[in-house]
Amino acid sequence: MLILECPYCGIKGEETEFHAGGEAHLKRFGPGSSDEDFETYLFMRENPKGVHLERWRHANGCGKWFHAARCTMTLEVFGTYSAQSFEPPKEIKDILTAKRPGWSWRNFK
Ligand SMILES: [Zn+2]
């Protein structure tokens, strides 16, 4: 069972309390970008067996979007954080480094 905590209102609940929004921290490309960049933005997604950074919406609560760092194999949630951030906060990166040594995602160390 996946248990998430909304970072805005602090409510903890099962995933049915929330709505999944796909991969977090996508780099957006629009008009003027190359076809390859735009195709990557539209269709290419991470599909890891392990740590994944995702967007979630507190659909049955405050309605706000947030990000979650979790493991797709164990459903362990490493933390949730604001959707207005461009990368996971340091405390979540530290947790990921401690619990999954050697883990890296894109350019995050
Ligand atoms: Zn909330």
Q: What is the CATH number of the domain that holds 95?
A: 3.30.2270.10
The CA 32 to ligand 1 mean position distance, Å, reads 36
41 inside domain: yes
Asked whether the predicted pLDDT for residue 77 surpasses 50, the reply is yes
30 inside domain: yes
64-91: average pLDDT: 96
Residue 72 token pair = 């797709």
Query: DSSP states of 41-70 as a string?
Result: HHH-----SSEEEEEEE-TTTT--EEEEEE
How many domains are there within the chain? 1
Q: Which amino acid is at 4?
A: L
51 inside domain: yes
107 inside domain: no
Asked whether the predicted pLDDT for residue 95 surpasses 70, the reply is yes
Q: pLDDT band at 108, cuts 50/70/90?
A: low
Strands 51-57 and 77-82: unpaired
The CA 34 to ligand 1 mean position distance, Å, reads 37
35 inside domain: yes
The CA 40 to ligand 1 mean position distance, Å, reads 31
Average pLDDT, the chain: 92
The CA 10 to ligand 1 mean position distance, Å, reads 6
Tokens 């960049």 — which residue? 37
Give the Å distances, CA to CA, from 107 to 19, 65, 93.
Answer: 27, 23, 12
109 inside domain: no
Asked whether the predicted pLDDT for residue 105 surpasses 90, the reply is no
The CA 48 to ligand 1 mean position distance, Å, reads 26
The CA 17 to ligand 1 mean position distance, Å, reads 10
The CA 63 to ligand 1 mean position distance, Å, reads 6
Q: pLDDT band at 109, cuts 50/70/90?
A: very low
Domain that holds residue 88: 3-99
**pLDDT at residue number 75:** 96
105 inside domain: no
**pTM of the complete model:** 0.89
67 inside domain: yes
